[in-house]
Amino acid sequence: MQRCLATLLIMVSFVCAVQGGRRTTFALGVSLEETAIPLLREKISLYRTLAIELRQGIVHLRDTEAVYQETIEDAFLIGVRTLYDVTRFLPAITQVSLYSGIEYDFVTAHQFGAEHPLATGRIIGLFVGAEKYLSDGLSLCLDAGVYHTSLSSPHLDFREEGVDLLFNILVNFYLF
């Protein structure tokens, strides 16, 4: 499924690249991140210096631990990022676009056959990054940020919190 989606996005980017002219209004993207959840992203430019990115991903897991005898079926992430273009404050930089922003995600893990989620959590973070256009409709982004993660489960009576430094590699396929 992931390979089919990636192939489709690559084909769309080549079709868009033939049309010519750099597009910055709407993008579909695939995230190759440190997380185990592959993400599909939609990036929408609201103004010249501000964009919003919707993120969603699901991963199917089969993790059986002898301690809990629980089977985790899947994990789901949905979130939003705001991106602020800071390149305009650095006029000497012309080859890449620099951005910063804040991200908020909601994560849930489901147990096989259960009605309610086994665990839920939230992720909030601040990040900085750079975007380099490889063609008119294709760009590569690298960003890093500090994120606070909170995960809890009322069924297993646990709560996990922590601060992490995350690095992301993002590929954007601009359609418009």
Q: How many helices (H) and strands (E) does the chain have?
A: 1, 8
pLDDT, tens only, 17-65: 444 455 667 777 766 665 556 677 888 888 878 889 888 887 665 544 4
CB atoms within 10 A of CB 164: 12
**Confidence (pLDDT) at 69:** 45
Of residues 94 and 130, more confidence is placed in: 130
Nearest CA-CA partner of 97 in 105, 109, 87: 87
- Do 64 and 70 touch, CB atoms closer than 8 A? yes
| Contact of 101 with 79, CB cutoff 8 Å | no
| One-letter amino acid of 97 | S
Lowest mean pLDDT among 56-60, 87-91, 100-104, 156-160: 56-60
Q: Which DSSP helix (H) or strand (E) runs through 17?
A: helix 2-19
86-101: average pLDDT = 88
User: Which range has the top average pLDDT, 70-84, 99-113, 121-135?
Assistant: 121-135
pLDDT in tens, 110-136: 777 777 788 899 999 999 999 998 887
CA distances to 26, 34, 69, 131 from 144, rounded to whole Å, are: 22, 11, 36, 12
Q: In terms of Cα–Cα distance, which of 86, 81, 76, 7 is closest to 44?
A: 81
SS3 34: coil
pTM of the model: 0.74
Q: What residue segments make up the domains of the chain, in order of their start?
A: 2-174
Read off the pLDDT of residues 141-150 as tens digits, 9 standing for 90 and up: 899 999 999 9
CATH class of 2-174: mainly beta
